[in-house]
Amino acid sequence: MTMKKTFLYPIKVNHQHIDSLNHVNNEIYIKWLMEAAMAHSTELGYSMEKYLEDQACFVVRRHEVDYLAPAYLNEDLVLETWIQDMQATKTHRVYHIKRISDNKVLINAKTLWVYISLQTGRATEIPSELKFAFSEFIHS
């Protein structure tokens, strides 16, 4: 059995991420999920420019986020992500954000992404070549 791959996205907590409670604001975690997904896609050859050229792209239908522990200024984190499944027109992406110093999981999250036609705004079938590009990262 071969191990499935995960995409790692390093994060350094800075002043812009901190809220009035002196920890990372919840909105920032969502931003990091989105950034990591796009970075992963880009690394596999599917940048935003490619999606626009293809006239189709993934959009978020739903985020589920469990906030387990806070992150603080100057901490080094890593966001680990992979694809849970890839169906005809949608996919679920899983994320964990961990603090590097103690390997503590701060966030567990999952996003439902729907592949849409930019011409119609409706769900459309995910092309086989796109599915293949992500295949090593699908942990079904």
pLDDT tens per residue across span 53-74? 999 999 999 999 999 999 999 9
Domain assignment present for 34: yes
Average pLDDT (124-137) is 97
CATH code: domain of residue 123: 3.10.129.10
Determine what percent of the chain falls in helix, strand and coil, rounding each to the nearest 5. Answer: 25, 40, 35
Domain assignment present for 32: yes
At residue 4, the pLDDT reads 86
Q: Report the C-alpha gap between 68 and 49 in whole angstroms.
A: 35
Domain assignment present for 101: yes
**Does residue 1 surpass a pLDDT of 50?**
no
Q: Record the pTM.
A: 0.94
Average pLDDT (70-98) is 98
Domain assignment present for 69: yes
Total domains, the chain: 1
Domain assignment present for 48: yes
Domain assignment present for 3: no
Task: Categorize the per-residue pLDDT at 44 as very low, low, confident or very high, splitting at 50, 70 and 90.
Answer: very high
Domain assignment present for 2: no
- Are 93 and 84 in contact, with CB atoms under 8 Å apart? yes
Secondary structure E strands in the chain:
7-12, 56-67, 76-86, 90-99, 105-117
Task: Categorize the per-residue pLDDT at 140 as very low, low, confident or very high, splitting at 50, 70 and 90.
Answer: confident
**Does residue 117 surpass a pLDDT of 60?**
yes
Structure token digits, residue 12: 């350094």
Query: Which residue range is the domain that position 127 belongs to?
Result: 8-135
Domain assignment present for 122: yes
